A and B are shown apart, each in its own frame.
Chain A
Amino acid sequence: MSIKTLTIDGRMVTGAAGESIFDVAWNNGIRIPRLCHVGGISDVGACRLCLVEIEGWPKLAAACLTPVEEGMVVRTQTERLRRHRKLIVELLLAERNHVCSVCVQNGHCELQDLAAELGVDHVRVYYRFPRLGVDMSHERFGLDHNRCILCTRCVRVCDEVEGAHTWDVAGRGVNCMIVADMGEPWGNSETCTSCGKCVQVCPTGALFEKGKTVGEMYKDRRFLKYIVTAREKRQWIR
């Protein structure tokens, strides 16, 4: 295995060839913000929050999709990046109806936490207030499109870990929506195994367990590490 040595935020770090800047940074305690990345499933670079500056590169790069290279000089916490990240979060908040005070995920939401961390105290762009539905057709779970940020964690965990590929993305631009099977109510899905992995990886209150009210939904995605370890190391260990 070839080893790459690079500099992240002034620190000399090493990673294996093919490893992403994101993973190498986190392994070294350098926390790059993210909403679409989740360990154990593939990366798509959907949220753009992990954008970093790389010396000599004309554009910003998504850390989750950029493999480390020998001699790279990466900066993850510049004023410019902070400004971009803050605006990204504000755009996410304005795009759909994120009403924290009445959300099942209030108080333990990754979007909400990131907003606080980045110092978002109000949203500077106009809210869109789209009229979106809540799919409560599934026996155990609900999907609230108002809270969805289209990170596609649910799509990837369903396909790559559960192997069901119930979820996918339909439509373009503001019409982009998470859909079950060919766009039918979740409860009618013939592929869904009701495993709930999508619910547990969802960073916001978009996917939730029925019966949970404001602030009662806690997500637990430790199962993912368990399954991925089993798959990669052939060991069922926690």
Chain B
Amino acid sequence: MDPVNRKIRLATVWLGGCSGCHMSFLDMDERLLELAQRVELLASPFTDYKDFPEVDITLVEGAVANEEHLEQIRLIRRRTRILVAFGDCAVTGNVTALRNVFPVEEVLARAFQETATPVVGVPRGNPAVPRLLERARPIHEVVQVDYFLQGCPPSGPEIYEFLMALIEGRQPEIARKKFG
């Protein structure tokens, strides 16, 4: 395809977050149709993909909370031109990082033993269950981040304005009245 007029290749990923930022993405409502004219969505929690593609923009929701996230975010960084920390968990750690004040063993015991019914115990040695990192991290502590889109979650219109600016090659106006 014509490299100048080709559509912007977009990806969105969901690391250690609640999916609220992606729900907010869907809150763009009819503007999603407008966005679809301008971008090609190559990877997202809504699409099926085996290997993370080479893209222009990736929105990363969530903190880096386990070993799989760590591996993913490094690969995503290598294959992304503009990496965006998408929402407060990606930007600050936010709710995902609330557990950081406790040792991982305490966190696991609380989730899988003290409050679980039925109690099956803490999953260990199962390769399908990624190991938690000692601390959940905002993504800029792990890889270079190009833009920070704050909010818990950022609103649909904010996401739209931000993406349109990037697509049109403008500096996104992300000065918010509120931190976090």
Q: Which residues of A are interface residues toward B (Cβ below 8 A)?
A: 93, 97-102, 106-107, 112-113, 115-116, 119-123, 126-127, 129-132
**Smallest Cβ distance from A213 to chain B, in angstroms?**
15
Residue of B nearest to A108 (CB): B178
**B145 contacts chain A at the CB level, 8 A cutoff:** yes
Q: A99-B97, A122-B92, A127-B100 are in contact. List 4 more A-B contacts (CB 8 A).
A: A102-B98, A115-B179, A116-B176, A116-B177
Looking at B97, B98, B138, B178, which has the most chain A CB atoms within 10 Å of its CB? B178
Which of chain B's residues 43-98 have a Cβ closer than 8 Å to chain A? 85, 88, 91-95, 97-98
Q: A101-B94, A101-B180 are in contact. Are A122 and B101 (CB under 8 A)?
A: no
Contacts of A93 in B (CB 8 A): 92, 179
Residue of A nearest to B100 (CB): A129
How many B residues face the partner with a CB closer than 8 A? 27
Contact of A127 with B179 in the complex, beta carbons under 8 Å: no
Residue of B nearest to A116 (CB): B179
Q: Which 5 A-B pairs have the closest CB atoms?
A: A100-B180, A115-B179, A101-B152, A129-B100, A121-B148
Listed by A's residue number, 26 A-B pairs whose Cβ atoms lie within 8 Å are A97-B98, A98-B180, A99-B92, A99-B95, A99-B180, A100-B152, A100-B178, A100-B179, A101-B88, A101-B152, A102-B98, A113-B177, A116-B175, A116-B176, A116-B177, A116-B178, A121-B91, A122-B92, A122-B138, A122-B145, A122-B148, A127-B93, A127-B100, A127-B138, A129-B100, A131-B101
Contacts of B98 in A (CB 8 A): 97, 99, 102
Contacts of B179 in A (CB 8 A): 93, 100, 112-113, 115-116, 120
Q: How far does the alpha carbon of A106 sit from the alpha carbon of B94 in the complex, in Å?
A: 13
Residue of B nearest to A130 (CB): B101
Residue of B nearest to A146 (CB): B101
Contacts of A112 in B (CB 8 A): 178-180
Q: Which residues of B are interface residues toward A (Cβ below 8 A)?
A: 85, 88, 91-95, 97-98, 100-102, 135, 138, 140-141, 145, 148, 150, 152, 174-180
Q: How far does the alpha carbon of A98 sit from the alpha carbon of B180 in the complex, in Å?
A: 10
Residue of B nearest to A96 (CB): B101
Contact of B97 with A100 in the complex, beta carbons under 8 Å: no
Contacts of B94 in A (CB 8 A): 99, 101
**Smallest Cβ distance from A33 to chain B, in angstroms?**
14
Contacts of A102 in B (CB 8 A): 95, 98
Contact of A97 with B101 in the complex, beta carbons under 8 Å: yes
Contact of A121 with B174 in the complex, beta carbons under 8 Å: yes
Contact of A127 with B97 in the complex, beta carbons under 8 Å: yes
Q: A126 is contacted by which of B141, B148, B174 (Cβ under 8 Å)?
A: B141
Residue of A nearest to B102 (CB): A131
**Smallest Cβ distance from B126 to chain A, in angstroms?**
27
**Smallest Cβ distance from B152 to chain A, in angstroms?**
4
Q: How far does the alpha carbon of A107 sit from the alpha carbon of B179 in the complex, in Å?
A: 9
**Smallest Cβ distance from B20 to chain A, in angstroms?**
10
Contacts of A131 in B (CB 8 A): 101-102
**Smallest Cβ distance from B60 to chain A, in angstroms?**
13
Q: How far does the alpha carbon of A108 sit from the alpha carbon of B149 in the complex, in Å?
A: 20
Residue of B nearest to A111 (CB): B179
Q: How far does the alpha carbon of A99 sit from the alpha carbon of B152 in the complex, in Å?
A: 10
Q: A107-B178, A116-B178 are in contact. Are A101 and B95 (CB under 8 A)?
A: yes
Residue of A nearest to B140 (CB): A122
Contacts of A97 in B (CB 8 A): 98, 101
Q: A100 is contacted by which of B88, B135, B140, B148 (Cβ under 8 Å)?
A: B88
Residue of A nearest to B145 (CB): A122
Q: How far does the alpha carbon of A112 sit from the alpha carbon of B180 in the complex, in Å?
A: 8
**Smallest Cβ distance from B15 to chain A, in angstroms?**
16
Residue of A nearest to B180 (CB): A100
